[in-house]
A and B are shown apart, each in its own frame.
Chain A
Amino acid sequence: MQNSQRTPGVVPGRLDDATYRSNFDDLHPPLDAHEARVAADRCYFCHDAPCMDACPTAIDIPMFIRQIQSGDPDNAARTIFEQNILGGMCARVCPTETLCEEVCVRQTAEAKPVEIGQLQRYATDQLMAKEGHPFQRAEPTGRRIAVVGAGPAGLACAHRLALKGHSAVIYDARKKAGGLNEFGIAAYKAPNNFAEAEVQWLLGLGGIEIRYGEKLGEGLLLEELQDEYDAVFLGMGLAGVNALRTEGEEHAHVRDAVEFIADLRQATDLSTLPVGRDVVVIGGGMTAVDAAIQSKLLGAENVTMVYRRGRDRLSASTFEQELATAKGVKIVLNAQPVAFNSEDGETVSSVTFAYTEDGATGFKLSEETFTVKADQVFKAIGQSLKGVPGVLETTGGKIVVDAAGRSSISGVWAGGDCASGGDDLTVTAVANGRDAAEDIHAMLTGAAG
């Protein structure tokens, strides 16, 4: 195949092997031992550290950094994992610039925070590279809990339950565990199959069984789980995608961004993955940004990301936006698609947008339109809850839960993207799963009412 960035249509192999490799390599190369020491030395070991409050899993950041500083990365990693068993993935994917690092006092002082995420990766990588699992299960309790979804929420929940001596059985609709860690996160954030390796490492604790291809709502019923198990945790994420309902949406090469990203994450050889020459991404969140950047990295010549509102409403962080721009993605704001056009009546050839107005009188389309050439379009306008039993109360498309993760039905907990109150981040999903497990444990052992 002799394709290049300028080959028209949706084709694979636009780049040479070396370029694919470097494009999808680690976004932030890991710190080496000296860099880690220097970075760790910058931490002030704050009292009641603000960074810790900003971490959804409340990792004892000053303590783990001090442990790195003292040449003890293993215990640093233990400090992290005690709070966040997916600390390895979180170190790679957390938008630290809006979490821990945003409130680091050195950000306040000199706009240069301690590199908490990178240090977390340094510590967790070291320990995970070692033989075995760092924790040991408590004496078996004989209690069994069903967990739906093997994403960050479900895995964190199951791990904490297993740690307490309970047995966790995870049901996942897919053939592979990890949830969006495995199928969603941008490839360059967690290269070298990290997501898969992390799940294997986590299961090393014991006491967790995963049953694949089991889908709640299709064959698997909540009542059955409630009957068979002592408790049920739902961590099924958002399996549906929002519809755009725009003229011409049925044309070939107009697809959901999450699907494209899942294909990309599962591809063993990126050069076999087709991508358009002119790609248009519709949306303004993390999914849109990731689809846009990765299209560009796969060799698309022009990538335009179009969002219907202004910059202030873009949910992708400034860092993500800057990364997209740096990779050559063009970001267009305040425009909404009105038609997907096709020259041959089958495949998409361009998209017509109308500018939008988002003022005091509300959100509306203006008269002015423009057309962008497109041989491939990715829709990334949000995911939605799917497969949730109707008996559960929902709000704004999420399962209603209280602070401990309890749903409206006794004996059923929920957390992560599928539940109310989260931020749709890996780290909040982990926190939800862990906290629900603690609450389930308290309930089962009679410590809570």
Chain B
Amino acid sequence: MANLASEFVGIKSPNPFWLASAPPTDKEYNVRRAFEAGWGGVVWKTLGSEGPPVVNVSGPRYGAIFGADRRLLGLNNIELITDRPLQQNLREIKTVKRDYPDRAMVVSLMVPCEEEAWKAILPVVEETGADGIELNFGCPHGMAERGMGSAVGQVPEYIEMVTRWCKQNTRMPVIVKLTPNITNVVYPAEAAKRGGADAVSLINTINSITSVDLDAMSPEPMIDGKGTHGGYCGPAVKPIALNMVAEIARHAETAGMPISGIGGVTTWRDAAEFMALGAGNVQVCTAVMTYGFRIVEEMIAGLSNWMDEKGYASVDEVVGRAVPNVTDWQFLNLNYVTKAEIDQEACIKCGRCYAACEDTSHQAILMKEGRVFEVDDSECVACNLCVNVCPVEGCITMRELSKGETDERTGEPVSDYGNWTEHPNNPGASCAAE
């Protein structure tokens, strides 16, 4: 059995599956049950400063996007940080950590952008015995309007400044949680690093309106006839999160900085993908809000089984393994040629590949007598659209042309590696002869 034990910025947990800061981690009752179910750690629901807690709406706070059979694909929320008193949260954090010393207990924080505010909260959190803190620079609604959350996360200078204050005022590891609501995630990540952050975690939720009530003419969730943008999360955001994680992992200034991967993690495979792209562990929110805590059993068993199959003895061997293969478009091999190939045995003759290629792509699929669909190699540009729209997995595959074989579309033989930087059509190509 592969060893799933994880150590992230010095924080130990029996597995790399943590619960993200959100309702599942908002109180002792939930967190105890999560630990009983097997979760390796939690990031406690974001705490604010001492004083009267924030107030949430009392109408619906979630909106959703569904796939077939009402499978939840994307969730949107307009919830704020914890609406329970600070002292109560701190007490609960302390007792839970005492009872589950082997689990990671990280506390998420969001206080006003003043050093005094941070100086006030850090010692009281430290006193609970928590393993670390996560700075919530991500929340895109409600808190941002008060100059916190993503209002800080969108300004690299603020990130750096607040991170530095924290590093100066606590011995606990500092994880900076990044907002995806920016142009390039590398800048806030660099700022966190400059401020001395031990790690970054990402992504927080994405600004969104999930749907519009066409009778009331209001965004949903609708509160008394009005709606506001909320934060999007769940399976739908995973591709965005994966890219952001990868960008930080491969960017020269931030490479090597520990990353906690968040965003749409639903199964062990999602977790493995985040880790391959450089995440040291993962955090989960929507998946548990949809299915409950027990899904961690599937995640633990699945990850460990896959690692055994691949011969990875520990989590560290997986982390970042795919990063060297994440490159820029300009370095992709333009002389790599494939052609779509249809397995006639597996084909159920739905014609979707034909409609897609004929109507919207390269007219490279022929529809023959008896609904037989065949690829015309002289037109196929290998775009993969047919593969993606075919309802039968594995029915259409991409055959790689071997070196020297003629590409019927161009009439040219397949040649050695060559990319855009040296391509004759590239005006800025570096020409060896010059």
Contacts and interface: CB of A to CB of B under 8 A. Distances in A.
Interface string B359-371: 0000000010001
Contacts of A48: 351, 367, 371
Given A105-B348, A109-B392, A47 B355 contact: yes
Interface in B325-371: 348-352, 354-355, 367, 371
A46 interface: yes
A105 B353 CA distance: 14
B432 interface: no
A37 B367 CA distance: 30
Contacts of A108: 348-349
B194 to A, nearest CB: 49
B349 A41 contact: no
Contacts of A47: 350-352, 354-355, 367
B354 A109 contact: no
B68 interface: yes
A44 B70 contact: no
Nearest to B371: A50
Contacts of B391: 44, 109
A372 B52 CA distance: 89
B69 interface: yes
Contacts of B68: 38, 41-42
Contacts of B70: 34, 37-38
Nearest to B354: A47
A108 B391 CA distance: 12
Question: Which of the listed residues B68, B69, B348 has the most CB atoms from chain A within 10 Å of its own CB?
Answer: B348
B352 A46 contact: yes
A46 B351 CA distance: 6
B69 A109 contact: no
Given A44-B391, A47-B355, A50-B371, A105 B69 contact: no
A188 to B, nearest CB: 29
Question: Which of the listed residues B70, B355, B391 has the most CB atoms from chain A within 10 Å of its own CB?
Answer: B391
A429 to B, nearest CB: 28
B352 A50 contact: no
Interface in A29-46: 34, 37-38, 41-42, 44-46
A50 B349 contact: yes
B99 to A, nearest CB: 42
Interface in B40-95: 68-70
A106 interface: yes
Contacts of A109: 348, 391-392
Contact of A38 (B69, B348, B354, B355): B69
Given A50-B371, A109-B392, A44 B69 contact: no
Interface residues of A, number: 16
Contacts, number: 37
A100 to B, nearest CB: 14
Contact of B348 (A34, A42, A45, A106): A106
Contacts of A105: 348-350
Contacts of B348: 105-106, 108-109
Nearest to B358: A47
A105 B391 CA distance: 10
A49 B68 CA distance: 21
Question: Which of the listed residues A42, A49, A105, A108 has the most CB atoms from chain B within 10 Å of its own CB?
Answer: A105
A42 B391 CA distance: 10
Interface in B366-383: 367, 371
Question: Which of the listed residues A46, A49, A50, A106 has the most CB atoms from chain B within 10 Å of its own CB?
Answer: A46
A436 B4 CA distance: 73
Interface string B254-272: 0000000000000000000
Contact of A45 (B69, B352, B354): B352
Interface in A42-65: 42, 44-50
Contacts of A45: 352
Contacts of A41: 68-69
A20 B4 CA distance: 63
Nearest to A106: B348
Interface in A65-115: 105-106, 108-109
Nearest to A69: B68
A26 B68 CA distance: 27
A49 B70 CA distance: 26
A408 to B, nearest CB: 36
Contacts of A44: 350, 352, 391
Nearest to B359: A47
A80 to B, nearest CB: 21
Interface string A324-358: 00000000000000000000000000000000000
Contacts of B354: 47
Nearest to B395: A109
B382 to A, nearest CB: 21
Contacts of B355: 47
A37 B69 CA distance: 7
A34 B349 CA distance: 28
Contacts of B371: 48, 50
A407 B88 CA distance: 90
Contacts of B350: 44, 46-47, 105
Nearest to B355: A47
B298 to A, nearest CB: 24
A337 B193 CA distance: 95
Contacts of B351: 46-49
Contacts of A34: 70
A47 B355 CA distance: 6
A34 B70 CA distance: 9
B365 to A, nearest CB: 10
A45 B392 CA distance: 14
B152 to A, nearest CB: 41
A144 to B, nearest CB: 44
A49 B355 CA distance: 11
A42 B70 CA distance: 13
B347 to A, nearest CB: 9
Nearest to A53: B371
A47 B354 CA distance: 7
A64 to B, nearest CB: 17
Contacts of B367: 47-48
Interface in B149-199: none
B372 to A, nearest CB: 13
Question: Which of the listed residues B349, B354, B355, B392 has the most CB atoms from chain A within 10 Å of its own CB?
Answer: B349
Contacts of A37: 69-70
A105 B350 CA distance: 6
14 contacts: A34-B70, A37-B69, A37-B70, A41-B68, A41-B69, A42-B68, A44-B350, A44-B391, A46-B350, A47-B352, A47-B355, A48-B371, A105-B348, A108-B348
Pick the 9 closest A-B CB pairs, nearest first.
A47-B351, A47-B355, A41-B68, A105-B348, A109-B348, A46-B350, A105-B350, A44-B350, A108-B348
Given A44-B391, A47-B350, A108-B348, 20 more contacts: A37-B69, A38-B69, A44-B350, A44-B352, A46-B351, A46-B352, A47-B351, A47-B352, A47-B354, A47-B355, A47-B367, A48-B367, A48-B371, A49-B351, A50-B371, A105-B349, A105-B350, A106-B348, A109-B348, A109-B392
Interface of B: 68-70, 348-352, 354-355, 367, 371, 391-392
